[in-house]
Amino acid sequence: MAINEFYIQQFKQYLLFEKSLSKKTAEAYIHDVCLLCEYIGGQSVLTVTEEDIHKFILCFNERDYAATTQARLISGIRAFFRFLVLENVVDTNPALLVDLPKLGKYLPTVLSIPEIDAIIRAVDLSVPEGHRNKAMIEMLYGCGLRVSELVNLRLSRIHEEEGYIDVVGKGDKERLVPVGHTALKALQQYTEGQRLHLKIKKGCEDIVFLNRRGGQLTREMIFTIVKKLVKAAGINKNVSPHTFRHSFATHLIEGGADLRAVQEMLGHESISTTEIYTHIDREYIREEMALHHPRY
């Protein structure tokens, strides 16, 4: 239905230019709304009721879709109708009272400091990309970067003397993150070594981490590199590039860092997102008591 396509496009523009969401996030919201439109067929989205949305979500429930998937769908649809209310297109948000499925408490995988060290030792520095791989791990863990932030890191945004990097995060929001001497040293060994000998592709001159052909590394390539290093280190955990970010935050909290400071470094919009790491810290404390307290 043409009217549905019109409002979906309007919603997309709103997400990108008024809410400043990334293209990837905006597309995820649009995907959720398109699924609803497919479900209602030729019906106009302007006539969708709370009952329609309940039935739509029930379809995913019956297909055994994860609770997190269902919750994301409801959130996306709520955001769409909230936009229509703001634009005075509809009077009420039919998704507002649709209950989100209960989600179990999720605590992310965290690496211990010895495990981080083992992964870094597993890097083969005798191969051309060795120092690059070591620098990537040091930056992921040393600065708590998202993988997208790592692949888009610019040489011009590394302020070595001041000891910080300028990171462009979600929604193109910039933040300053301190960087330690260990990570800076690994970065210097790479940029002043292997990287100098690459034939860099046009447009990638300022990109820090490059592949063998002088092009920008992809997220998938970094996932592959991390998986190989974790295996080489003999670690039997489900580790991704994001695990280093979780470990960065957890080790800071365990060391007594202020929660607000960690929030700033991670680029979290809400402090509640950062508070997950206090739960991890409490679990760590409980495990320590279980191990060492004679009456536990």
Instruction: Report yes or no on 107 lying in a domain.
Output: no
Residue 54: per-residue pLDDT = 86
69-121 residue pLDDT tens = 777 888 889 999 999 999 999 999 998 888 776 655 566 788 999 999 999 99
Residue 272: per-residue pLDDT = 76
Number of domains in the chain: 2
Residues 64 and 124 in one domain: no
Residues 146 and 69 in one domain: no
Per-10-residue mean pLDDT of the chain, 296 residues long, equals: 84 88 85 90 89 85 70 87 92 85 67 95 95 97 94 94 89 87 94 93 95 93 96 93 92 85 86 74 61 60
The single-letter code of the amino acid at 55 is: K
Residue 281: per-residue pLDDT = 61
Residue 41: per-residue pLDDT = 86
Instruction: Report yes or no on 203 lying in a domain.
Output: yes
Instruction: Report yes or no on 76 lying in a domain.
Output: yes
* Range of the structural domain that residue 263 is part of: 113-291
Residue 274: per-residue pLDDT = 79
Kindly report the CATH number assigned to the domain that includes residue 70: 1.10.150
Residues 162 and 208 in one domain: yes
Residue 181: per-residue pLDDT = 92
Kindly report the CATH number assigned to the domain that includes residue 213: 1.10.443.10
Residues 201 and 54 in one domain: no
Residue 21: per-residue pLDDT = 80
Residues 153 and 260 in one domain: yes
pTM score: 0.64
Residues 155 and 67 in one domain: no
Residues 128 and 192 in one domain: yes
What amino acid positions are annotated as catalytic residues? 146, 170, 242, 245, 268, 277
Instruction: Report yes or no on 65 lying in a domain.
Output: yes
Widest CA span in the chain:
70
Residue 70: per-residue pLDDT = 77
